[in-house]
C-alpha cells in the first residue's frame, strides 16, 4: 500500500465510518456530537505555527540575492529581499518540493516557491530521480561526443582528372533517377484541413491519399452503440450538488480526485457535453432541437490541449461559453439577435464553466482563467488530480476566489456492489446470493480495482473477452484473475 492509498483509507475510516457510527460510551454519533457541542477548538494565533509540528525536516540556509539555494533549486519570494546575507531556517514537506517555509529567529517569514516546480507537486524522491536521470543523460552525450572526436575524418573520394562537378552534371545525374508518378507531382491548391470538392463524376478522390491533409471534421467521432450508460452513484450525486452550488453562487470550485474514479464522466453528464458535441455539426445546419440537458444545465465544458497557448485560451474560452449562451437564447426566443436580446451577449446565458485537466495550464493561463471569471457572471469548476488545491494556494488572487472544494473519492463497498450488479446484468447474468461463486468473484473484482471506476470497465472488457473465447456462462474468481493478468495496473 502506498502512502497516498494509506491517506485515502485513513480519511475514509475517520470521516465516513468512525464519525458516523454510534459511540459505545457516549451513545451518540461523534459527528453529531461535534456539531451540537457549540464550542470552538483552540487554535494557534497563526496557522503557520502548525508547520512546526507538520514540517519536521529543517535546514539552515543563507539568503542570497537570487533567493535561497537548496537541493539545486532557487526558492524566491519578495519578503526575502530584506534578509539578504542572513541565516534562515527552512522547513519543507518531502512529498512536495515546490515550496518551502522560511523562518528567521523563530519568526515565520514567508513561503518561498521554486519557479521550476511551480506548475506541479514533486516529491523529494522524484526530484532526486530526475536529477540523476539528467546527469546520466549528460554523461552519455559527453561519451558520444568524445567517441566522435576520436574517429578519423572521412575523406571525399577523388574525381578523375579533367572532370568538373557542374550544376549541369548534377541535374543530369538527378534526371537519370526514376521520376515520381504524375499524380504525385500534381500540386493541390487546397488549404490544409479543407477537402477539395470533386470536379466530375469520374473523380474517385485519390488525391486525398497524397495530399497533406489533416482531419476533415472538427466534430468528435460518434458514440459507440455499446457504450454503457452512466450509473448514478453517491459520488456522482455529490458532484452534482457541488456543481449546482458553484453555479448558483457564481464562485470558483475545485474538484480533485485520483485518476479513473469518474470525475470527467460526472462533469460531462452534468453539462450534457456528449449530447452537445454530437448535436453540433461544423459546416452543417442541424434542424434537430437543442438537447434538453444542455438547456437545463447552461454549462460549458472545456478541456485545454497539452500545448495550448495564451492566444488559444483567449479565443477558445469565449467561443465555448458563447455557443451555450446562444443556444439558450435560440431555444427561448426562436432566433439569435445580439442587438435585441442583450442577455446573451458576453456569454450572459452561460451559468457555469467546467474546465477539465487544469493541470495542463501554466501559471499565466490560470491568471487568464481568473481574469475571464472576473469579467463574467458565471461559476467556474476546475477538475484535476490530487494536489491541485495545493498548487492553486500559491496564487493568492485565484485562491481567494475559490468558494467550494469537492474530493471525488473511489467507490464505496455499497456503490461497488451496485455497479457490479449492473455489469452482471449487461452480460445477461444475475447474482445469486445463495451461490458462493458470485460473491467470490465480486470480492476479487473489489480487491483488484479498489473501487476505481475506469479500472472496473477495463477489467470487464477482458472478462467479456475471456468468456467469449472459452464459451463460459458465468463469472468466477478464476475468470477475474485471468482478466487481471492481461491488464497493466499501477500500484
Please report the DSSP string for 234-254 in residue order: HHHHHHHHHHHHHHHHT-EEE
- Calculate Rg over the CA atoms of the chain: 31
Q: Is the pTM of this model over 0.75?
A: no
d(CA 158, CA 246): 78
The residue that leads in pLDDT, 284 or 320, is: 320
* Cα dist from 98 to 115, 116, 124, 296, 427, whole Å: 8, 8, 10, 41, 48
In this structure, of 34-43, 265-274, 304-313, the range with the lowest mean pLDDT score is: 34-43
> Of how many residues is the chain composed?
491
Q: What is the pLDDT of residue 184?
A: 39
d(CA 356, CA 264): 7
The residue that leads in pLDDT, 193 or 67, is: 67
Mean predicted confidence (pLDDT) in 270-290: 80
| pLDDT exceeds cutoff 90 at 183 | no
Helices (H), 203-309: 234-249, 263-271, 273-279, 292-297
The helix (run of H) or strand (run of E) holding residue 132 is: helix 124-150
| pLDDT exceeds cutoff 90 at 270 | yes
Q: Which residues contact 453 (CB under 8 A, 6 or more apart)?
A: 260, 261, 262, 265, 410, 411, 419
At 181, is the pLDDT very low, low, confident or very high (cuts 50, 70, 90)?
very low
Mean predicted confidence (pLDDT) in 414-427: 83
**343 near 289, Cβ under 8 Å?**
no
d(CA 318, CA 415): 38
At 186, is the pLDDT very low, low, confident or very high (cuts 50, 70, 90)?
very low
Q: What is the pLDDT of residue 226?
A: 65
Mean predicted confidence (pLDDT) in 160-165: 53
Say what percent of the chain tops pLDDT 90.
Answer: 19
d(CA 289, CA 331): 8
Q: Which three cell numbers stand for residue 351?
A: 451559468
Q: What is the pLDDT of residue 356?
A: 94
Mean predicted confidence (pLDDT) in 189-207: 53
Mean predicted confidence (pLDDT) in 291-314: 92
Which residues face 295 on adjacent strands?
none
The residue that leads in pLDDT, 214 or 397, is: 397
Q: What are phi and psi of 291, to 5 degrees?
A: -55, 135
Q: What is the pLDDT of residue 175?
A: 46
Mean predicted confidence (pLDDT) in 359-375: 90
| pLDDT exceeds cutoff 60 at 283 | no
At 127, is the pLDDT very low, low, confident or very high (cuts 50, 70, 90)?
low
Q: What is the pLDDT of residue 243?
A: 94
**Looking up cell 503557520, which residue turns up?**
48
| pLDDT exceeds cutoff 90 at 387 | no
At 300, is the pLDDT very low, low, confident or very high (cuts 50, 70, 90)?
very high
| pLDDT exceeds cutoff 50 at 177 | no
Q: Which of 29, 38, 453, 446 is nearest to 258 (CA)?
A: 453
User: Among the ranges 55-69, 215-229, 281-295, 332-346, which has the highest mean pLDDT value?
Assistant: 55-69
Helix (H, G, I), strand (E, B), or coil: what is residue 192? Answer: coil
Q: Which of 140, 153, 145, 71 is nearest to 112 (CA)?
A: 71
Q: What is the pLDDT of residue 403?
A: 87
Q: Using CB atoms within 10 Å of the CB of residue 242, give its burial: 0 to 12 exposed, 13 to 18 middle, 19+ buried.
A: buried
Q: Which residues contact 199 (CB under 8 A, 6 or more apart)?
A: none
Torsion, CA 273, CA 278, CA 279, CA 285, rounded to 10: 140
| pLDDT exceeds cutoff 90 at 355 | yes
Q: Using CB atoms within 10 Å of the CB of residue 103, give its burial: 0 to 12 exposed, 13 to 18 middle, 19+ buried.
A: middle
Q: What is the pLDDT of residue 190?
A: 36
- Sheet with 107-113: strands ordered across: 73-75, 67-70, 57-64, 87-93, 96-104, 107-113
Q: Which residues contact 319 (CB under 8 A, 6 or more apart)?
A: none
In this structure, of 35-49, 300-314, 354-368, the range with the lowest mean pLDDT score is: 35-49
The residue that leads in pLDDT, 72 or 160, is: 72
Give strand ranges (E) for 83-129.
87-93, 96-104, 107-113
DSSP per-residue string spanning 335-399: S--TTT-GGGGGGTT--EEEEE-GGG--HHHHHHHHHHHHTSS-EEEEEE-TTHHHHHTT-HHHH
Q: Which residues contact 440 (CB under 8 A, 6 or more apart)?
A: 476, 477
Q: What is the pLDDT of residue 282?
A: 59
Q: What is the pLDDT of residue 337?
A: 72
| pLDDT exceeds cutoff 90 at 296 | yes
Q: In the chain, what are the domains?
A: 47-117 (2.30.30), 234-407 (3.40.50.300), 413-485 (no CATH)
| pLDDT exceeds cutoff 90 at 458 | no
**3 near 11, Cβ under 8 Å?**
no
Q: Which of 446, 459, 440 is nearest to 418 (CA)?
A: 446
Q: What is the pLDDT of residue 180?
A: 44
Mean pLDDT of the chain: 78
Q: Which residues contact 388 (CB under 8 A, 6 or more apart)?
A: 254, 256, 358, 359, 382
**Looking up cell 485545454, which residue turns up?**
304
Mean predicted confidence (pLDDT) in 194-202: 52
The sign of the dihedral angle between the CA atoms of 468, 472, 473, 477 is: negative
Mean predicted confidence (pLDDT) in 159-181: 50
Q: How many CB atoms lie within 10 A of CB 444?
A: 20
Q: What is the pLDDT of residue 206?
A: 73
Q: What is the pLDDT of residue 248?
A: 93
**91 near 100, Cβ under 8 Å?**
yes
Mean predicted confidence (pLDDT) in 383-394: 86
User: Among the ranges 119-123, 228-232, 366-370, which has the highest mean pLDDT value?
Assistant: 366-370
Torsion, CA 479, CA 409, CA 418, CA 465, rounded to 10: -30
User: Among the ranges 71-85, 185-199, 310-324, which has the highest mean pLDDT value?
Assistant: 310-324
State pLDDT tens for residues 71-101.
Answer: 888 888 878 877 888 899 988 877 777 888 8
Q: Which of 384, 359, 421 is nearest to 120 (CA)?
A: 359
Amino acid at each position: 500500500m502506498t502512502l497516498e492509498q494509506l491517506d485515502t483509507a485513513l480519511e475514509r475510516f475517520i470521516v465516513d465510518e468512525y464519525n458516523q457510527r454510534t459511540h459505545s460510551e457516549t451513545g451518540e454519533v461523534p459527528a453529531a456530537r461535534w456539531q451540537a457541542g457549540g464550542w470552538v477548538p483552540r487554535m494557534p494565533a497563526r496557522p503557520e505555527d502548525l508547520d512546526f509540528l507538520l514540517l519536521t525536516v529543517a535546514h539552515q540556509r543563507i539568503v542570497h540575492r537570487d533567493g535561497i539555494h537548496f537541493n539545486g533549486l532557487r526558492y524566491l519570494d519578495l519578503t526575502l529581499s530584506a534578509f539578504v546575507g542572513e541565516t534562515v531556517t527552512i522547513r519543507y514537506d518531502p512529498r512536495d518540493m515546490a515550496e518551502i517555509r522560511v523562518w528567521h529567529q523563530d519568526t515565520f517569514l514567508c513561503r518561498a516557491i521554486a519557479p521550476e516546480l511551480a506548475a506541479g507537486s514533486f516529491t523529494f524522491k522524484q526530484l532526486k530521480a530526475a536529477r540523476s536521470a539528467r546527469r546520466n543523460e549528460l554523461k552519455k552525450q559527453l561519451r558520444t561526443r568524445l567517441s566522435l572526436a576520436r574517429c578519423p575524418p572521412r575523406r571525399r573520394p577523388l574525381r578523375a582528372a579533367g572532370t568538373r562537378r557542374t550544376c549541369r552534371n548534377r541535374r543530369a545525374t538527378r534526371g537519370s533517377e526514376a521520376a515520381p508518378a504524375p499524380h504525385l507531382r500534381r500540386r493541390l491548391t487546397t488549404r490544409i484541413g479543407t477537402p477539395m470538392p470533386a470536379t466530375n463524376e469520374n473523380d474517385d478522390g485519390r488525391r486525398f491519399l497524397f495530399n497533406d491533409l489533416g482531419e476533415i471534421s472538427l466534430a468528435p467521432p460518434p458514440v459507440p452503440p455499446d457504450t454503457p450508460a452512466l450509473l448514478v452513484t453517491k459520488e456522482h450525486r455529490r458532484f452534482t450538488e457541488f456543481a449546482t452550488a458553484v453555479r448558483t453562487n457564481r464562485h470558483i470550485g475545485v474538484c480533485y480526485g485520483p485518476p479513473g474514479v469518474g470525475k470527467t464522466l460526472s462533469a460531462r453528464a452534468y453539462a450534457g457535453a456528449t449530447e452537445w458535441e454530437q448535436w453540433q455539426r461544423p459546416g452543417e445546419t442541424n434542424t434537430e432541437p437543442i438537447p434538453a440537458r444542455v438547456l437545463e444545465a447552461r454549462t460549458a465544458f472545456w478541456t485545454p490541449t497539452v500545448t495550448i497557448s495564451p492566444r488559444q485560451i483567449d479565443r477558445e474560452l469565449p467561443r465555448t461559453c458563447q455557443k451555450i449562451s446562444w443556444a439558450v437564447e435560440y431555444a427561448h426566443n426562436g432566433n439569435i439577435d445580439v442587438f435585441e436580446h442583450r442577455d446573451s451577449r458576453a456569454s450572459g446565458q452561460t451559468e457555469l464553466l467546467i474546465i477539465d485537466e487544469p493541470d495542463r495550464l501554466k501559471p499565466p493561463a490560470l491568471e487568464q482563467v481568473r481574469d475571464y471569471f472576473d469579467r463574467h457572471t458565471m461559476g467556474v469548476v476546475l477538475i484535476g488530480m490530487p494536489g491541485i488545491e495545493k498548487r492553486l494556494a500559491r496564487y493568492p488572487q485565484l485562491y481567494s476566489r475559490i468558494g467550494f472544494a469537492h474530493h471525488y473519492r473511489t467507490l464505496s463497498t455499497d456503490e461497488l456492489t451496485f455497479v457490479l450488479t449492473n455489469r452482471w446484468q449487461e452480460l445477461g447474468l444475475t447474482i445469486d446470493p445463495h451461490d458462493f461463486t458470485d460473491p467470490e468473484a465480486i470480492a476479487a473484482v473489489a480487491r483488484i480495482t479498489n473501487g476505481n471506476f475506469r479500472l472496473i470497465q477495463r477489467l470487464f472488457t477482458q472478462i467479456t473477452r475471456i468468456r467469449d473465447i472459452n464459451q463460459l456462462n458465468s463469472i468466477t474468481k478464476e475468470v477475474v484473475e485471468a482478466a487481471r493478468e492481461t491488464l497493466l495496473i499501477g500500484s
